[in-house]
Structure 1
Amino acid sequence: MRIDKYLWSTRYYKTRNMATEACKKGHVRINGKTVKPSREVYKLDEIIVRKNQINYELSVLDVPSSRVSAKLVDIYRKDTTPKEVFQNQELMQLNKNQYRQKGEGRPTKKERRDIDDYLDESE
């Protein structure tokens, strides 16, 4: 089975086109090498998929014949992504929220509109 079809059938991407684009951009590696969308997937291959700033590490257990339900995905792959990666992602999200408190620095577009509306009403 092709790698783009495998990633689509194991529900890493919503469409095959999205999986194909990820392969073309170099976000998918099999056994440490970037691959084209037409590369075949075999049992015991190690796949690394870069998605949402996270490197998902997968081991292929079996190749499905078609797209599988979310409950059956674990039959065909083993997710070996370290838990620290997800914890780092959560910390980055919290840090992003703390970067600028409301009312500090330049106003956002919405805040600017609110200020303009307030000034127009007072005149």
Structure 2
Amino acid sequence: MRIDKYLKNARIIKRRTIAKEACEQGRVFVNGKEAKPGTELSIGDKIEINFGTNTMKIEVLKLLEHVTKESAEDMYRNL
């Protein structure tokens, strides 16, 4: 699954276009490498997202296409 789609499905970023822009601006890293919007994720990958002065680090637990609001938090674990 693409990183921009994953961030939207997991409800970490509200819209896919904003997730895409964050990747293009160099704010998203997967396993320590800068991620492009089309970077493919797999279970166990570590994602780092820079929101201004805040940094969010998560680990991918599930890759789901259709996600309910309740199950979105099960897709990742905060590090």
Give TM-score, length-normalised by structure 2: 0.92
Work out the CA distance in 2 between the residues paired with 1:9 and 1:19.
Answer: 11
The structural deviation recorded for 1:54 is: 1.0
Mapping 1:15-26, distance limit 5 Å: 15-26=15-26
Report deviation, 1:59.
Answer: 0.3
Aligned position for 1:13? 13
Output the CA distance in 1 between the equivalents of 2:22 and 2:54. 13
1:27 aligned partner: 27
Which of the pair has more CA radius of gyration? 1
Total equivalences in the alignment = 79
More helix per residue = 1
**1:24-79 deviation line (CA, Å, top 9, x unaligned):** 0000000000011000010000000112421100000010113x233212221001
| Alignment partner, residue 55 of structure 2 | 55
TM-score (norm 1): 0.61
Gap runs ≥5 in structure 2: none
SS of residue in 2 equivalent to 1:43: coil
Aligned-partner residue type, residue 60 of structure 2: V
In 2: Cα distance, 1:64 partner to 1:26 partner:
25
1: CA distance, partners of 2:69 / 2:50: 20
Q: CA RMSD in A?
A: 1.1
C-alpha offsets along residues 70-99 of structure 1, whole Å, 9 cap, x if unaligned? 32122210011xxxxxxxxxxxxxxxxxxx
Name the CA distance, whole Å, in 1 between partners of 2:44 and 2:72: 16
